[in-house]
Structure 1
Amino acid sequence: MLDRVLSIFTILSLYTFGNTDNKIALLTFDDGPIISTKNIIEVVREEDIPVTMFFVGCQIEVFQNIYKDAISYPNILIANHTYSHANNKYRKFYSNPTLVVEDIKKANEIVGLDNVSNTSSLYLPVRLAGRNVFRLPTITKNDNMIDEVQREKEIVGYDDIYKEGYYIYGWDIEWASEKDGKPILTPQEIYNDMEKIYQKKLSSKENKVVLLMHDFMFSNNFDGKENLRTLIQLLKNGGWSFENIENY
């Protein structure tokens, strides 16, 4: 009789946990620090959630005070978004694997400065400039938006970065913007798209959706603080929890 009760309890437990939503949003911001990065920091502090900011090394040298403000808040993980951002000449940059690795190393030294408390590793998480690539122990993905010939040239650099000890993180969905930074979608629309990705199991890791955003989207010109605050509140009300990229 006891065995039967235990069996029923086990079945019920499996059913309950198997049907519990576990939606996790990883909000990531690229290309900072810049002036509008301050708006992101303010909202993240108010909403008290973990996020990841992929900072560009040469930008830190220009906006040191904003960088220091970001690292002072424990919920903000500062990560490596290259030193030069490929000088926005991506095909040329990624065709030289040695240059790519050296650029990542240089950024790691700058981004990692005073950032020891924000990461447990000597190697900060990396996001490549202009490329949606994963190099993790359990996930390997290349950017399928690049033609095959160019992609084969670039894979050597991706692999070399990973061999150096860095983990590379891409994204599942981008909150796209116009060239001037104006968001193309509303917070409600990007929330709906995240829900679709979760429901249809289209993300690279089950239950976790990585959202790419860019700091310049959140300037005062585009009601940046309000847009970000609205998205975060939609996610909270929709039962999502939040993690930084190191918990991916």
Structure 2
Amino acid sequence: MKKSKAIISFCICAIMILTSFSVLGYMDDIKENNEDNKIVYLTFDDGPTENTLEILKILEEEDVKATFFVIGELANTNKEILKKVEESGNSICVHTNTHKNENYRSKEIYFKDYDAAYSKLKELLEKEPCNFMRMPGGSSTGVPSKVVLKSIRDELNNRKINYVDWNVSIEDAMGINIPVERLLCNYRKEMSKKNLDKERIVILMHDGASNSTTPKALPSIIKDLKKNGYKFKTIQDIDENEFINLTEKKLINRYNEEKEIN
């Protein structure tokens, strides 16, 4: 009888141990899956310039990639820098050709500028540019009237051009060479927003001529994102599932389902 009780006790202990290992393993899987689901897209507008070269150095040192939304006229002026962006494995997309507010006067003027930028990148890269772009000021920009802005977004949709927004900004375009600590403060403030969906982060930064402090802030930003388990991807890494995910999170094609102007 005592032997039977001992066997039963041993079996119960064994089951409990195996169960605990199974639960621990399951929790590890959950943790791993959660980490896999945390993706960040570093994006830079307004280059290429000499500041772009500094950013490329940091990206290489940190072994991460980014997406550059470029200005056509600057790409033409800084062909070698553009080539370095491409050769380093980063994504290159259209931002604008001239970055002038007057491009928002009408849909026709806007797409004359966009088409010029697209053609210039196609010539310089010797291939069709990426089918993703970013509107100057984002898809909610207050520069044009609501009617013109909606017509531009509708035409992008008709052309099957995907426009990219962001959910975190370091606000480095709010002045000239903003102090590094201010940029990092802006980053921390944005990352701590209560309504921020931290599963997908698209960070707006700039590599224009007046953004020489952005490369100085970048290493701290990248290290913080790595510490918090983020994987770094570029626009070129977006597959069908990720496209759907980013669309649902309103980070790309935010207004494609709009029916009327509010």
Q: Normalised by the shorter chain, which TM-score bucket?
A: 0.7 to 0.9
Q: Does 1:96 align with 2:110?
A: no
Corresponding position of 1:42: 57
The SS at the match of 1:153 is helix
- Specify the alignment match of 2:199 in structure 1: 207
Task: Name the structure 1 match of 2:133.
Answer: 126
Q: Tell me if the contact between 1:176 and 1:183 (Cα under 8 Å) persists in the aligned partners.
A: no
Residue 189 in structure 1 maps to residue 181 in structure 2:
no
* Structure 2: unaligned runs, 5 residues or longer: 1-21, 239-245, 247-262
Question: What is the TM-score of this pair, normalised by structure 1?
Answer: 0.74
Unaligned runs of 5+ in 1: 1-8, 134-142
Deviation of the 1:61 alpha carbon: 1.3
CA distance in 2, matches of 1:47, 1:112: 29
Residue of structure 1 aligned with 2:119, choices 109, 121, 132: 109
Residue matched to 1:238: 228
Q: State the Cα distance separating 1:13 from its structure 2 match.
A: 4.9
Specify the SS of the correspondent of 1:104: helix
Aligned length: 216
1:6-85 counterparts in 2 under 5 A? 13=26, 17=30, 20-21=34-35, 22-74=37-89, 76-85=90-99
Q: Deviations over 1:117-172 (max 9, x none)?
A: 8xxx7653111112x21xxxxxxxxx1x638x812222101211221121111111
Q: Does structure 2 conserve the Cα–Cα contact (< 8 Å) formed by 1:187 and 1:231?
A: no
Give the Cα–Cα distance (whole angstroms) in 2 for the partners of residues 195 and 180 of structure 1. Answer: 23
RMSD of Structure 2 on Structure 1 (CA):
3.2
Of all paired residues, the percent bearing the same amino acid is 23
Higher gyration radius (CA): 2
SS in structure 2 of the partner of residue 20 of structure 1: helix
Could you tell me the TM-score, scaled by structure 2's length? Answer: 0.70
